[in-house]
Amino acid sequence: MKELLARYKYRGDERLKTVLGQMLLHSYHLLHKVRDTFPSSESDSVKELITFVPVSERRMLERGFNQAEQMAIELGQRIGIPVVPLLKRFKHTDKQSFKKRSERLDDLEHVFEVNDSIHAYLGKSLNASYVIYIVDDVYTTGSTMNQCAKVLRGYISAEVFGLTWAR
């Protein structure tokens, strides 16, 4: 799996997005099996959205693409849920893979914020019920997902779930 991710993320083999998207579909179905076992107050008015962990401008220039965004788009096409960029990264951080757990937790505080055009994606009513899936490639400590979810929950009322390709 490490080699597959390295080919995709660091060597730019973007053809792998289809394979990774298919594998992410499995994560989505597993999450729904778990969610279906709990009583829910969901109504038909719940809106499901997929978003993704944003990369910094510097990382985008290095890679030429955001792997989490591509994976989110692949998943959204397969399950028919819209993919919207709800978050932005306003601070560049060094690669998380080179850091200790404690450094990762501290490093991502106040890195993400709500995308300026969130109203265009959510409409005028922020009171609607939302289920938001945040897509990223790898889950290690959970610090990235937790920070993204914290930002979203601070802005809108939503159930937020993380979906990753690998752990």
Q: Per the structure, how many domains does the chain have?
A: 1
What is the arithmetic mean of pLDDT over 13-19? 85
* Tokens read off for 147: 């920070």
What is the C-alpha separation between 88 and 55, in angstroms, rounded?
8
Tens of pLDDT, residue by residue over 20-66, are: 888 899 889 999 888 777 655 555 578 899 999 999 999 899 889 99
End-to-end CA distance of the chain: 10
108 neighbors 93 (Cβ within 8 angstroms): yes
Q: How many CB atoms lie within 10 A of CB 29?
A: 10
Q: Write the CATH number for 65.
A: 3.40.50
Question: What is the pLDDT, as a whole number, of residue 118?
Answer: 85
- pTM of this prediction? 0.86
At residue 149 the predicted structure's pLDDT band, cuts being 50, 70 and 90, is very high
Query: Is residue 100 classed exposed, middle or buried when 0-12, 13-18 and 19+ CB atoms within 10 A define those classes?
Result: exposed
Full domain range(s) for residue 101: 2-166
What is the C-alpha separation between 85 and 106, in angstroms, rounded?
24
Tens of pLDDT, residue by residue over 62-110, are: 889 999 999 999 999 999 999 999 999 988 776 655 656 666 566 677 8
CA angle 152–88–118, rounded 5-degree value: 60
Q: How many residues does this entry show for the chain?
A: 167
